[in-house]
């Protein structure tokens, strides 16, 4: 009901030229999670649904952009270093780093991979070392459980996320 009232109010207040660019609908599963929050963050913030492999860029209650993501190889909340799980909870962007020259050995027999994290590493303050939102060397891994605990996007999308939405201090809610 609250969702319907909010949509009707937005339609009534927005001129037709703005309605064409209106926010995307909030999926029911996300709406149920946001209703538990008191209050939801104002301004731009991110919600990551591990179960649905989706990163939502939010503006208050509104979804303004979505991205497909890959998350930890193992499901559940991170419990120890090296468990290949993505942590769950409310975090924030701690640092944004140029990762274009970074390399990493994923211990898959392929050795060191150049540009393993794509152009950017958006480091999250989670209490765990090295957790962030970044690009990929393997676009086919998107929408799968494939990472060592980070959130992985396509390179062009992490570039857009960094340039348009991500700032130090941006809130990031990671859901199961």
CA 144 to CA 119: how far, in whole Å?
20
Name the β-bridge partners of 5: none
Distance of CA 80 to the CA centre of its chain: 21
Closest CA to 55 of 148, 137, 142: 142
* pLDDT surpassing 80 at residue 36: yes
Closest CA to 169 of 26, 36, 41, 34: 41
pLDDT average, residue stretch 110-122: 93
Q: What does the pLDDT look like over 125-164, one tens digit per residue? A: 999 999 999 999 999 999 999 999 999 999 999 999 999 9
When pLDDT is cut at 50, 70 and 90, the band that residue 22 belongs to is: low
Q: What is the DSSP letter of 163?
A: I
Identify whether the C-beta of residue 134 lies closer than 8 Å to the C-beta of residue 59. Answer: no
Q: What does the pLDDT look like over 61-105, one tens digit per residue? A: 999 999 999 999 999 999 999 999 999 999 999 999 999 999 999
* pLDDT surpassing 70 at residue 167: yes
């Amino acid at each position: 009901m609250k969702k319907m009232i909010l949509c009707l109010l937005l339609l009534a207040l927005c001129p037709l030229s703005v309605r064409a660019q209106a926010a995307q609908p909030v999926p029911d599963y996300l709406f149920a999670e946001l209703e538990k929050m008191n209050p939801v963050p104002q301004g731009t913030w991110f919600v990551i649904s591990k179960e649905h492999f989706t990163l939502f860029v939010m503006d208050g209650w509104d979804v303004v952009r979505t991205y497909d993501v890959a998350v930890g190889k193992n499901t559940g909340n991170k419990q120890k270093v090296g468990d290949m799980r993505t942590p769950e909870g409310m975090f924030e962007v701690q640092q944004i780093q140029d990762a274009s020259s970074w390399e990493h050995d994923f211990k898959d027999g392929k050795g060191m991979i150049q540009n393993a994290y794509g152009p950017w590493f958006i480091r999250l303050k989670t209490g765990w070392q090295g957790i962030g939102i970044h690009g990929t060397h393997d676009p086919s891994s998107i929408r799968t459980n494939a990472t060592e605990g980070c959130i992985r996007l396509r390179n062009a999308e992490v570039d857009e996320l960094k340039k348009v939405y991500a700032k130090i201090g941006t809130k990031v809610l990671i859901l199961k």
